Amino acid sequence: MDFNDTKEEAKFRNEVNAWLSANAEKKEHAKDIYRPAEMSEDSESGESSALKDAKAWQAKKYDSGWACLHWPKDYGGRDAAPMERVIWGQEESKFKVPGGFFEIGQGMAGPVLMLYASEEQKKRYLPPMAKGEEIWCQLFSEPGAGSDLAGIKTKAELDGDTWTINGQKVWTSGAHYSDYGIIVTRSDFSAPKHKGLTYFFLDMKSPGVEVRPIKQITGGANFNEVYFTDVKIPDSQRLGEVGDGWKVSLTTLMNERLAVGDASGVDFQEIFELAKDQDFNGDTAISNGAVREKLADWYCEQSGLKYTKMRNISALSQGSTPGPEASITKIVSANKLQDIANYGMDLMDNASIARDEETAIFQGSLLGAPLIRIAGGTDEVLKNIIAEQVLGMPQDVRVDKNVPFNEIPTGSKN
Amino acid sequence: MNFNFSEDQLLMKEEVKKLLDKENSVKRNRNVLEGEDKFDKELWNQLVQMGLTATTIPEEYGGIGMGFLELCVIAEELGRGIAPVPFSSSVYLATTAILNSSNEEIKKEFLPKLAAGEIIGTFAHSEKTTFPNESGINVNFKSGKISGKKVAVPDGDIANFALVTAKSDKNQIGLYLVDLSSNGVEINSLDTFDPSRSHADIVFENVEARALNNDAWSDIEKLLDQSAVLFAFEQVGGAEAAMNQAKDYAMGRYAFGRAIASFQAIKHKVADMYISLQLARSNCYYGAWALSNDAPELPTAAATARVSATKAFYECSKENIQTHGGMGATWEFDCHLFYRRARLLSSNIGSQGIWKDKLITSLEKSNSPT
Ligand SMILES: Cc1cc2nc3c(=O)[nH]c(=O)nc-3n(C[C@H](O)[C@H](O)[C@H](O)COP(=O)(O)OP(=O)(O)OC[C@H]3O[C@@H](n4cnc5c(N)ncnc54)[C@H](O)[C@@H]3O)c2cc1C
Ligand SMILES: Cc1cc2nc3c(=O)[nH]c(=O)nc-3n(C[C@H](O)[C@H](O)[C@H](O)COP(=O)(O)OP(=O)(O)OC[C@H]3O[C@@H](n4cnc5c(N)ncnc54)[C@H](O)[C@@H]3O)c2cc1C
């Protein structure tokens, strides 16, 4: 029972650290995170300057062989072992470097291309994806199909070597700055729902693609509606067989679970500091027993997640692959985020109403948490996954299997 | 990195599990609960024969010189089997306290017998209904004798000796070893919530006692932290058993034409048990690391493990009853045995509120809690 690196791991960690120290600035404390050079109140230009910085950092890593470590060298990676990738992540998080933007491409589109694209396509698309030169988005959810992804209706029709796409996607994160997208469509409406799907990748600048940002409850607009009107996709950009899109989608979703990590925002440290400073009935909040009990619960959750991650990493270090067990991370951390944010504002009392430097992070977390509980698999869907895939309990009785897709009931909200 | 138990330790865990399965430990729990015996002597002897009471005792004192990590895996299995034996009192607490002590004479005299299972020890601490802090100890030690009353002492009517917390002339709280067959000791067995584990009130009237030379409150805090990790493993073992019972029952029970395990209300219930159990288990592993390395993080790690394991066992044992429907409400089904044990373990060595408070106190003392 130890946290020690093996000899090889320690050597690799040193190598990583040497490069990072030479190329980035170390954080002084956990909250000392990277901020874009050109901060702006306007979220749009704020996003574009963050994007510029992120691309620059990603390119720098790529040029020195530190991008997508676990990918083959031929595709822009380093042929690194899974554990080396983990070590890189641990060390990089100690530095003030920009992030975001590339997770969907590198975490979800990349692995799918790796499995299903032609050699030529892999050589063409994977290196710029690793370098952060080209950004990818995930065009899965639709107004009528989210959790029930196999219920999508965007239509794909083949004529010769070319598919024509018509329909609408929604909640597409980053579509407005993406160069390419992975998309699942329905190519056969009379087959049962899981059998009539076909999966592609496409150029987001194709004629007929229209991206409309959607304003979120946070006030930002990071996700979009994407409309497809007679969009042409060459058959060579199909990933997997015609009608096999469900299988390909599952590969993507499995990777999504690994790509979605802890929820960012307020955590134990923030509520702990707040409770020490905040007045409560003439004393500090932290001297109140009820407050202490709450704090203890969140500390236990935070610590439980931290050491669950350590156990998974340890398994990786010992040569085994962690499975769907990782689903608990998002459920626990997103709910904790929401509850801590709400409780923090409660402790701030009247002061929580106005937006200022101290309240902003709690307010932002309270508005951001509901998004995290939905994105990448809702709490409920993740619990189904735990029950079915980890614990082996039976699937729900389904009314939509083995029925032609066009005969499945839909409701007024679809 | 290997944040897990070693292969040997996991093998040992498997061996303990096999023994408890073979001996039908859960059934033995019921026998003690329903019968007159205060514990299962046969099962206890088997554990002794396997060398489990000797685990942490160095060879020079007649033990087998393994460490706390081995004790953690044993604790988990005793929890899974809700074993009706005085192991926590005699091993987690009494043996550890003597190992912590600098009193060579006591070590030489008691450790070999503890290792061989010839004697059973316990820890006598509470004096009122609440778990005491420093000001709650009024049993006193004067010129070699102690007087006062300890309440609900686990295995108080089984143990040969007790380590009693008492206040000295100098107003220091220390640990004192008392032979429970001495004159002036009055033991009254209690009717308890979980009769598979015996408890007694003990009155001491001028009873001969020997100092363990552990006479700082911090020594007692440390003993509690050490044992908290072990109790937490026991709780995790019980929680996992209860979760598996719920799952297995749900798979085999049909209602409305389908397995109740296919109803989402039941699936989510079991998924919640799983989440709570995983968090507790991971915190226990950290506790085990801190315990076996005698790390400065032990107070935080122990409290974290204890709080989350208490929560997990409560949740798993109560929802296990719920999942069993009417069957869960019967005396005949085992669900209530786990529910009782979960509650008892929550109270032994201090309740949830106490440990939550300890956790925050230790975080306040350390500069960077995360
Ligand atoms: C911030 C954000 C970013 C996103 N980014 C992307 C993206 O980049 N690409 C993309 O394709 N999608 C994206 N999504 C969409 C996301 O994957 C879906 O919102 C999510 O899967 C839920 O689908 P839905 O919104 O249709 O809700 P629904 O599926 O309609 O769910 C509504 C409610 O019903 C519950 N429910 C549904 N089915 C079940 C069931 N079987 N059992 C129990 N409860 C059930 C859900 O848990 C939820 O509470 C994003 C969403 C958000 C919030
Ligand atoms: C104290 C007591 C007194 C009783 N008195 C009487 C009485 O006087 N007369 C009488 O006729 N009966 C009586 N009962 C029986 C009682 O009505 C049943 O126990 C109860 O309806 C549950 O049925 P079950 O025990 O078969 O459990 P099951 O139906 O097998 O349920 C097991 C578990 O599955 C869950 N479950 C079952 N179906 C679903 C579903 N569709 N969706 C989600 N979850 C589901 C249940 O909630 C439960 O958690 C009594 C029971 C008790 C405990």
SS3 breakdown of chain A: % helix, strand, coil, rounded to 5? 50, 15, 35
Nearest 5°: the CA angle B128, B110, B52 is: 90
Q: Contacts by B181-190 with C-beta closer than 8 Å and gap 24+?
A: B182/B207, B182/B208, B183/B207, B187/B156, B187/B157, B188/B157, B189/B38, B189/B156, B189/B157, B190/B152
Question: Does B362 contact A at CB distance below 8 Å?
Answer: no
Residue A299 to residue B268, Cβ atoms within 8 A: no
Q: If pLDDT is split at 50, 70 and 90, which confidence band does A1 have?
A: confident
For CATH 1.20.140.10, list the domain ranges present in chain A: 261-374
Q: Which helix (H) or strand (E) holds A304?
A: helix A289-317
Distance B311 CA to ligand 2 centre (A): 26
List C-alpha distances in Å: A166 to A73, A158, A163, A230: 37, 12, 10, 6
Question: Does B261 contact A at CB distance below 8 Å?
Answer: yes
Q: Chains A and B: how many Cβ contacts under 8 Å?
A: 161
Quote the CA–CA distance of A35 and A66 in Å, as a whole number. 22
Residues of B in contact with A331 (CB under 8 A): 275
Angle between helices A119-131 and A43-63 (to 10 degrees): 120
**Ligand 1 atom 38, closest CA:** A147
Predicted structure pTM score: 0.95
More confident residue, B203 or A36: B203
Quote the CA–CA distance of B86 and B41 in Å, as a whole number. 10
For CATH 1.10.540, list the domain ranges present in chain A: 7-101
Given the structure tokens 């091993």, which residue do they identify? B91
More confident residue, B6 or A49: B6
Read off the pLDDT of each residue in A151-166 and give the average, rounded to a whole number.
Answer: 97
Amino acid at B319: E
Distance from CA of A259 to the nearest CA of B (A): 20
CATH superfamily for A136-258 is Butyryl-CoA Dehydrogenase, subunit A, domain 2 (2.40.110.10)
Given the structure tokens 């026991």, which residue do they identify? B234
Q: Is the CB of B255 under 6 A from ligand 2?
A: yes
Distance B254 CA to ligand 2 centre (A): 12
Are B262 and A394 spatial neighbours (Cβ–Cβ below 8 Å)? yes
Give the tokens for residue A78.
């380093």
SS3 breakdown of chain B: % helix, strand, coil, rounded to 5? 55, 15, 30
Quote the CA–CA distance of A92 and A33 in Å, as a whole number. 12
Q: What is the CA radius of gyration of chain A?
A: 23
Read off the pLDDT of each residue in B65-92 and give the average, rounded to a whole number.
Answer: 98
List the one residue out of B303, B282, B299, B286 whose CA is nearest residue A2. B286
Side-chain half-sphere CA neighbours of A111 within 13 A:
19
Give the other-Cβ count within 10 Å of B185's Cβ. Answer: 18
Q: Per-residue DSSP letters for A193-258?
A: TTTSEEEEEEETTSTTEEEEEE--TTS---EEEEEEEEEEEEGGGEES-TTBHHHHHHHHHHHHHH
Query: What ipTM is given for this predicted complex?
Result: 0.96
Residue B334 φ then ψ, to 5°: -80, -10
For CATH 2.40.110.10, list the domain ranges present in chain A: 136-258
Tens of pLDDT, residues B145-185: 999 999 999 999 999 999 999 999 888 999 999 999 999 99
pLDDT at A413: 79
Is it the case that residue A323 has pLDDT exceeding 90?
no
Q: Is the CB of B352 under 6 A from ligand 2?
A: no
Quote the CA–CA distance of B188 and B159 in Å, as a whole number. 13
Beta strands, E only, chain B? 121-124, 140-142, 145-154, 161-167, 173-179, 185-189, 199-208, 210-211, 254-255, 258-259
Please determine, looking at this structure, whether the domain spanning A261-374 carries the CATH number 1.20.140.10.
Answer: yes
3-class secondary structure, A381? helix
Residues of B in contact with A93 (CB under 8 A): none
Looking at chain B, the whole-number percentage of residues with pLDDT higher than 90 is 93
Quote the CA–CA distance of B57 and B32 in Å, as a whole number. 29
Give the other-Cβ count within 10 Å of A37's Cβ. Answer: 10
* Of the listed ranges A110-119, A250-259, A344-353, the one predicted with least confidence: A250-259
List C-alpha distances in Å: B267 to A276, A303, B236, B264: 40, 25, 20, 5
Quote the CA–CA distance of B174 and A357 in Å, as a whole number. 50
Residues of B in contact with A310 (CB under 8 A): 1, 3, 282, 285-286
Tens of pLDDT, residues A178-216: 999 999 999 999 999 999 999 999 999 999 999 999 999
List the one residue out of B10, B277, B5 whose CA is nearest residue A315. B5
Burial of residue B223 (number of CB atoms within 10 Å: 0-12, 13-18, 19+): buried
pLDDT at B367: 63
3-class secondary structure, B264? helix
Nearest 5°: the CA angle B157, B162, B165 is: 125
Q: Which domains does chain B have, with CATH numbers?
A: 7-115 (1.10.540.10), 121-214 (2.40.110.10), 218-365 (1.20.140.10)
Distance B310 CA to ligand 2 centre (A): 28
Is it the case that residue A32 has pLDDT exceeding 90?
no
Quote the CA–CA distance of A23 and A18 in Å, as a whole number. 9
Quote the CA–CA distance of A134 and A126 in Å, as a whole number. 9
Quote the CA–CA distance of A387 and B261 in Å, as a whole number. 9
Tens of pLDDT, residues A255-267: 765 555 455 789 9
Tens of pLDDT, residues A110-132: 999 999 999 999 999 999 999 99
Give the other-Cβ count within 10 Å of A195's Cβ. Answer: 17
pLDDT at A214: 95
Give the number of residues written for chain A. 414
CATH, range A7-101: 1.10.540
> Which residues have a Cβ under 8 Å from the Cβ of A233 and sit 6 or more positions away?
A156, A162, A163, A165, A200, A202, A206
Quote the CA–CA distance of A148 and A141 in Å, as a whole number. 9
